[in-house]
């Protein structure tokens, strides 16, 4: 998994850092706009990173996934 952001679209909602604080930060010195703390988070953070992407109101977060990055439990849901 590789996490990237588009800083020009961020609206500083801070959802991402609340949902995935080990992956994203909304720092005061950046006026609350998102930065990536860990562009290649461990598997334990993947679900939170995906949720942050899905809940981002400005679609600022992008996640690139390899074939081996899929969570086997996700396939069981549908």
76 domain residue, yes or no: no
Split into its structural domains, the chain has a count of 1
**Residue 23: what are its φ and ψ, rounded to 5°?**
-110, -40
Q: What is the CATH number of the domain that holds 59?
A: 3.30.70.20
Distance between CA 61 and CA 70 in Å, rounded?
Answer: 18
Residue 78 has pLDDT above 60, yes or no: no
Structure tokens belonging to residue 61: 């977060």
What pTM does this model have?
Answer: 0.83
User: Among positive and negative, which fits the CA dihedral 71, 66, 15, 75?
Assistant: negative
19 domain residue, yes or no: yes
pLDDT digits (tens, 9 = 90+) for 13-67: 999 999 999 999 999 998 999 999 999 999 999 999 999 999 999 999 999 998 7
> Which of 19, 9, 28, 26 minimizes the C-alpha distance to 55?
19
Residue 77 has pLDDT above 60, yes or no: no
**Which pLDDT score, from 0 to 100, does residue 73 have?**
56
Range of the domain at 49: 2-66
pLDDT band per the 50, 70, 90 thresholds, residue 72: low
How do beta strands 24-26 and 34-36 pair? antiparallel
């Amino acid at each position: 998994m590789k996490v990237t952001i588009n800083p020009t679209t961020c609206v500083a909602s801070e959802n991402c850092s609340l949902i995935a604080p080990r992956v994203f930060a909304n720092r005061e010195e950046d006026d609350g706009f998102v930065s990536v703390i860990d562009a290649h988070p461990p598997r334990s953070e993947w679900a939170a990173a995906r949720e942050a992407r899905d809940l981002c109101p400005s679609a600022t977060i992008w996640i690139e996934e390899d074939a081996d990055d899929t969570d086997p439990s996700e396939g069981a849901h549908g």
